[in-house]
Amino acid sequence: MAKRIMILATDGFEQSELEKPKQNLEEAGFETVVVAPHDGEIKGWQHTDWGTPVKVDMTLDQAEEAEFDALVLPGGVMNPDKLRKEAKAVQLVKDFCDAGKTVAAICHGPWLLAEAEVIDGRTVTSWPSIRTDLRHAGANVVDRECVQDGNLITSRKPADIPAFSEAVIKAVQQQEVAEPA
């Protein structure tokens, strides 16, 4: 049975930060499931305008941590800002962290880690404009391509996607397969 990875996103996700890790994870043999607050499709953001829609596989209200092996949080300014207002999204981040499963966030994605209060005392990286928020949440913030602190993996920007994807793949390969609830 292939390991399952939840990609939690909504309208305004950074196009490359969802699509490229998703492709890399699938090429590594994992099943990816795009989870969003609503069904249908979510719209990506590409540079200065709307990008290509991505199909939603499961709605947020249907998603449970126990059915997945890892969680990926793409960036984009709008995406995590909207998701951190969704109680279920914040709870999922907490649940994955509490279970010790891989939680990977890139660019503005770590905003959800701060909202879920799971970065106090942890070392993370992110897009420069949210680093103060992460420090205020208790994180040790560094400026590196990819940072892994236990089960948390963070990266700064689209150029970091190769290192980000490699770290996620390696971490998930080392985990046990989640049993469906």
Active-site residues: which are they? 107-108
Distance in angstroms (rounded) separating the CA atoms of residues 50 and 10: 13
Sheet holding 31-36, edge to edge: 58-59, 31-36, 4-8, 70-73, 102-106, 152-155, 146-149
- Residue 157: both structure tokens together: 């920007």
Name the token pair of 45.
Answer: 């953001």
Q: Which two tokens stand for residue 64?
A: 């449970």
